[in-house]
Structure 1
Amino acid sequence: MSLVWTDSRLQADPSLFRLGSCFPATISPREVAFSVTYDDCNFRRLVTGNELNYTNDLIYTSSPDSYVHPFSLPVVCSFERPKDWYPMTYDPEFSTYGVEDLVFHVGLMNADFTGPSESNVYPLGSMISVMAAVDQQDHQPLLLFLEECIASTTPDLHPGADSYPIITNKGCLVDSKVSRSKFEPREKLSEIHLSVQAFKFALGHEVFIHCTLVAWDPNGLDDTKKACHYNKDHGWELLDNPAYNGLCDCCESTCKSRKRRNLSEKHGLAKKAVVGPLTITA
């Protein structure tokens, strides 16, 4: 695929153009040319009816002393959907992350969490089942939390990327205030099951859920080590012990630890992980 940008005013710096994540193939004072494939540059594929679209953005980053402000223009390449084209079969895969003597796992599950999901496509409003687990090896028993989960359209979460908050504020499932999302009852201390109602975000495009997993001392619950979801009838509830729902009160403000601890004292470990890609459809 070739894309050419022409500027007759000679105001833009041609070297500052990008097509998605790709640099120009050739540059001249008046023209910028890209020569790429649809597997490059973070092109997004969307199939609608009989149409196959590849979309991206032509980005101009500008420079501090430039009169031309940064801008972005959509790039859409449309084709008739091939008659023999079918969506790729989803091959369920769990991501594994090791840190010190702990091994973390995270992945998409079927509705009752008895096995991996057979699809990564979710209609809007359906439930997305996410399981995270930690292999404790010879470690003391640990309780696993999802401290934060943010949905994004990119496999690497970075400032400026489109995003949708699911869990924030040290374990508050904020999405549960506007949906049927919830933490499921625990079966093991070392696992946590999350049901997320498919939300209206990047419909038809790949979505990645970026999470921070925390394995912690089961006796060390506080405002920053918790799993809270919102019950429409009762307000914020603590997954592991409803008698201590008060730990979730800070979900409406900012959650900070009330306990002062020696920083050298080890209570657990944290690891960032990514679930996906998955696709939410209208």
Structure 2
Amino acid sequence: MMAFFWYCEFLLWLVAVGLAAADLKLDCGPDHVTLVWSDSRSQADTSLFRLGSCFPTTFTPREVFFNVELDDCNFRRLVSGNDLNYTNDLFYVSSPDSYVLPFTLPVVCSYQRPKNWYPMLYEPVSSTYGVEDLEFHIELMNANFSGPAETSSFPLGSMIPIKASVDAVAHQPLLLLLEECVAATTSNLEVAVETYTIITNKGCLVDSKITRSKFEQRQKPSELQLSLQAFRFGLGQEVYIHCTMSAWDPNGVDSTKKACHYVKDHGWELLDNPVYSSICDCCDSSCKTRRARSPGTGNGLSQKAVIGPLTITDLA
């Protein structure tokens, strides 16, 4: 997975009484992890050990063995300076009739980050169909939106440049909008325990009311650039941004099809024509959805997409 010179080290802390005598061995390979927990005196049921989301590779009454890929088991990746850290938890789930209480052991593999290496960015490309084929894109960009981002690690409070676009071949001109966006610490929004709302209410950038987040001036109708201020939600973890993108007739903008952000000391402003910013008044209440029109009269097409993982790091 990583074709570069690497070194590894590990940190394992015992956090439960009575486990100090346990023997733990961790071998951090270039793209895999081997972990062995053994204790000849323990009454723990070794079948109940888990490494993240992974079950043991093999186990005996006194030993549990894991041989897993770094891409598996929900390992969390954090880039910090010259270090590339993969973290997870070895935990014992116990059973109702067991004398051994549940416990957790943090696991960390640290690698040297090569100077010419950057984390891979997940850039989903989705398609939907209407009058003609449409292809939606969303990706992290560099600071001036001139090209793809070279890192997916952002200090708390810095700006995260995001560009969304739609390719419309042999289609009438379309306006690209972001209807909803939330952040989560999982790529599967259905299992997310907590989320952080960024855009809601059919195009209201609510995050701009409390941060410096804003929509940038459009370069073309089919593109939308968002400068998102790095938030505290999911700090130090892998974060995924889930969005619903839509493409509409540029002349059909209304309270349910818009891009609005909050300007300090001014209020809500419509990106594409501030003169009609009253369209954004519903951002503080509810922007109701109108009945969909037929494709022949400019009905929009939408697509869900995910961007990530990215990591927000604490300045301290």
Same fold (TM over 0.5): yes
Query: d(CA) in 2 for partners of 1:119 and 1:53?
Result: 15
1:25 to partner: Cα distance: 3.9
1:91 to partner: Cα distance: 5.7
Aligned partner of 2:276 in structure 1 is: 244
| Match 2:267 to one of 235, 249, 263 | 235
Q: Deviations over 1:184-211 (max 9, x none)?
A: 1112111101000111132333222111
| Match 1:119 to one of 151, 176, 179 | 151
Aligned partner of 1:195 in structure 2 is: 227
Aligned partner of 2:249 in structure 1 is: 217
Q: Are 1:56 and 1:74, in contact at CA under 8 Å, matched by a contact in 2?
A: no
1:73 to partner: Cα distance: 6.4
Aligned partner of 1:186 in structure 2 is: 218
Instruction: Output the aligned Cα RMSD.
Output: 3.6
1:9 to partner: Cα distance: 9.4
Question: SS where residue 72 of structure 2 aligns?
Answer: coil
1:225 to partner: Cα distance: 1.0
TM-score relative to the length of structure 1: 0.79
5+ residue gaps, structure 1: none
| Match 1:150 to one of 178, 182, 193 | 182
1:37 to partner: Cα distance: 4.0
1:253 aligns with 2:282: no
1:236 to partner: Cα distance: 1.2
1:181 partner amino acid: S
Question: SS where residue 207 of structure 2 aligns?
Answer: helix
Distance 1:78 1:176, change over 3 A: same
1:97 partner amino acid: S
1:136 partner amino acid: A
Query: d(CA) in 2 for partners of 1:135 and 1:47?
Result: 33
Query: d(CA) in 1 for partners of 2:43 and 2:136?
Result: 54
Aligned partner of 1:38 in structure 2 is: 70
1:99 aligns with 2:128: yes
Query: Over alpha carbons, which structure has the higher Rg?
Result: 2
Q: Are 1:214 and 1:269, in contact at CA under 8 Å, matched by a contact in 2?
A: yes
| Match 1:169 to one of 184, 197, 201 | 201
2:106 partner amino acid: V
Query: d(CA) in 2 for partners of 1:252 and 1:210?
Result: 22
1:248 partner amino acid: C
Q: Deviations over 1:67-92 (max 9, x none)?
A: 99xxx96541145x55x554732466
Query: d(CA) in 2 for partners of 1:59 and 1:269?
Result: 45
Counting matched residue pairs gives 272
Q: Are 1:154 and 1:161, in contact at CA under 8 Å, matched by a contact in 2?
A: no
Query: d(CA) in 1 for partners of 2:89 and 2:121?
Result: 30
Question: SS where residue 307 of structure 2 aligns?
Answer: strand
Which range is displaced more, 240-249 or 51-60?
A: 51-60
TM-score relative to the length of structure 2: 0.71
Q: Are 1:91 and 1:118, in contact at CA under 8 Å, matched by a contact in 2?
A: no
| Match 1:138 to one of 170, 179, 198 | 170
Query: d(CA) in 1 for partners of 2:38 and 2:184?
Result: 29
1:59 to partner: Cα distance: 7.7
1:21 aligns with 2:21: no
Distance 1:86 1:139, change over 3 A: same
Distance 1:45 1:189, change over 3 A: closer
Question: SS where residue 189 of structure 2 aligns?
Answer: coil
Aligned partner of 1:89 in structure 2 is: 118
Question: SS where residue 283 of structure 2 aligns?
Answer: helix
Aligned partner of 1:77 in structure 2 is: 107
Seq. identity, %: 56
